[in-house]
Amino acid sequence: MTAGILSPARRRRPDMNKIIAIAILAVRGAIRSRVVLVLLGLLLLAVVAVPLTVKSDGTPAGDVQILVRYTLGLAMLILSLSVLWAGCASVSLEWQSQRLQLVVTKPIHPLQLWLGKWLGLVALHVVLLAICGAVTAGLLKWRMREPLRDPVDREWLLDEILVARRSLIPEPVNVDTAARLRFEEEQSRGRLPADIPPETVVQAIRQNLLIQAFSISPGGTREWHFPRPGRLDRERSLLLRFRFSSSTPGPDRVTGAWVIRRGNNIPAVQVQTNMVATARHSIRIPCAALSGEGPLVVAYENIHTDPVTVLFSPEDGLEVLAYAGSFGPNYARALLVLSGQLIFLAALGITAGSLFSMPVAAFVSGFVLLLVQMAGQLQSMAAQPVFLAGHRGEAALSPLGAQAYRLFFKLLHAVMGPLQVSGSLEKLTTGVLVSWSETFRVLLTHGLIYPLLLALLAAWIMRRREVAMAG
């Protein structure tokens, strides 16, 4: 009430003061109710117990997979459930217990209340994630020590797994025109079934052509062009990583010949492989041997003695990995991406808690998460006309209904799509770079834009909602 004695520059902004008060309240409540202690215990148990209990496949990569991906994945699952539950409860339970009554009668805007709760939850969970990350990193370092790890394995791990490599995928094959032409040809010959919608047929032809572009019949050869790898460190190697399936059932080995070059220059690598299908393999490409300019060309010739067709998956069958940095910063970026996801979950929980009572809020936020996971399917549901047709090809919806159907799923995909994050833990345990741009994108969407939108929605609702009950 009295005039301040501190100069304006030294004073904290009044609005921040309130937000910090609410944040401290949330943290104090979590610590004193022993929620933090229980969480910490669970997390440490997950980080320490998982590597001891889950059996590895015996390979060094398998060990890292369990130590990093499984333990941090489990820790992340625990933290996600916790932050979502705590977010829902932090408003809805206070609403139900009427404790919120006392706070909202003070000069605090609903947005400040929301931000305070969010900051408190985020601080708590990000610190817990950082602890898990630090313990896991410590365990990894310990497991990499000489007596525990064979020097050859260690060297291999440091070059292929505990590293950050930029992933280059083959330039996309455009099969749309070919698919449309094939469809018209088949239609003119009257060889298309009448009860299947035309767009479904085009889609099937397109998929078929795409598979053909990545399959090699006996004696055949196929070439893939990768984008220019940029400036290469001549001391290091590129890695061609691939996975294929064969037309013979069982784990038979398939023989093939690889030729890797740059543009039309002399090949840097010419190697014959005899490898098991479905497993992941890699071929080292010394950068020093890659002379000249132009795109990287990878050719595979099927020289297997028996007639076997080889198929590389169009999605993740082939990739070239170029060195982009060490494991430490990559690990830190992966943790930042996970933090971004936790920040979004906290925002989602608090907003759901501001709109609904506790069990409903938890179910709603769980449903939203499910929609985020299904973002890819939502896109295909918007595009895929098969859902709009009945069993005999008749229209299941009126044209207006079909338009509304498409618009609904397009909208849903537009909202949920940006929230999909490619698995940063998977990248971490396969030596793939978690880039700064990807990290910033996640922090921007998950940590700023979506929370801000959710905060505005929650504040709008809270201003309109009656806090008290009859009595």
Partner 1 sequence: MKIAREETMAPPGIQPVLQAEHVSKIFRDFWRRPRVRAVNDVSFDVKPGEVFGLLGPNGSGKSTTLKMIVGLLRPTSGRLQVLGAPPTDVRRKARIGYLPEDSYLYPYLTCEETLDFFGRLFDLRASERRARTEQLLEMIGLRHARRRLVGEFSRGMARRIGLAQALINDPDLVILDEPTAGLDPLGCRQVKDLILTLARRGKAVLLSSHLLADVEDVCDRIAILFNGQVQATGPIRDLLEERHRPRLTLPEVSADQLRAILAALKEQLGREPELDYPRRNLEQFFLDIVARAMRQATEQSGATPSEGVAPYLSVDDRRHPLASPPPPAGHE
**Residues in contact with partner 1 by the rule CB under 8 A:** 1-2, 4-6, 11-15, 17-18, 20-21, 24-25, 28-29, 32-33, 97-99, 101-109, 463, 466-468, 470-471
Minimum CB distance to partner 1 smaller for 14 or for 251: 14
Nearer residue to partner 1 within complex by CB, 20 or 397: 20
CB of 4 to partner 1, least distance (A): 4
Q: How many residues in the chain?
A: 471
* Choice between 14 and 292, CB closer to partner 1: 14
Nearer to partner 1 by Cβ, of 102 and 395: the residue is 102
Closest distance between partner 1 and the C-beta of residue 132, in Å? 25
Residue 166 CA to residue 168 CA, distance in Å, equals: 7
* Structure token digits, residue 274: 């005899």
Q: Any idea what DSSP says for residue 58?
A: S
The answer for 113, left when phi > 0, alpha when psi is -120 to 50, beta otherwise, is alpha
The answer to whether residues 305 and 408 touch, using CB atoms and an 8 Å cutoff, is: no
| 197 membership: H or E segment, kind and range | none
Work out how close the CB of 10 gets to partner 1 at its nearest, in angstroms, rounded to a whole number: 10
Q: Which is nearer to partner 1, 16 or 374 (CB)?
A: 16
Residues 108, 18 contacting (CB under 8 angstroms): yes
| Cβ–Cβ under 8 Å, residues 139 and 410 | no
Under 8 Å between Cβ of 420 and 341: no
Angle at 230 between CA 227 and CA 231, to 5 degrees: 155
Instruction: Give least dist CB 26 to partner 1, A.
Output: 10
4 versus 193: smaller Cβ distance to partner 1: 4
| Least separation in angstroms between CB 14 and partner 1 | 3
Q: What is the dihedral of CA 22, 25, 29, 31, to 10 degrees?
A: 110
CA distances from 139 to 49, 73, 132, 134, 143 (A): 12, 15, 11, 9, 6
Q: Looking at beta carbons only, is 119 or 433 nearer to partner 1?
A: 119
The owner of tokens 């929980």 is 349
Between CA 91 and CA 223 the distance in angstroms is 58
Q: Nearest Cα to 232, choosing from 182, 272, 271, 286?
A: 286
Comparison of 21 and 303: residue with beta carbon closer to partner 1: 21
Q: How far apart are CA 376 and CA 356, in angstroms?
A: 28
Neighbours of 148 (CB within 10 A): 10
Smallest separation, CB 412 to partner 1 (Å): 27
**Burial of residue 348, with CB atoms counted within 10 A of its CB: 0-12 exposed, 13-18 middle, 19 or more buried:** buried
Nearer to partner 1 among residue 20 and residue 358 (C-beta): 20
Q: Cβ 23 to partner 1, closest distance in Å? A: 11
Residue 4 DSSP SS3: coil
User: What are the counts of helices (DSSP H) followed by strands (DSSP E) for the chain?
Assistant: 16, 10
Minimum gap (Å) between residue 87 Cβ and partner 1:
18
Residues forming a β-bridge with 286: 237
Nearest by Cα to 37 from 82, 91, 97, 89? 82
The one-letter amino acid code at 108 reads I
* Min dist. Cβ of residue 17 to partner 1 (A): 6
Q: How far is the CB of 7 from partner 1 (least distance, A)?
A: 11
Question: Is the CB of 18 or the CB of 427 nearer to partner 1?
Answer: 18
> Smallest gap, in angstroms, from Cβ of residue 65 to partner 1?
40
Cβ proximity to partner 1, 67 vs 119, nearer residue = 119
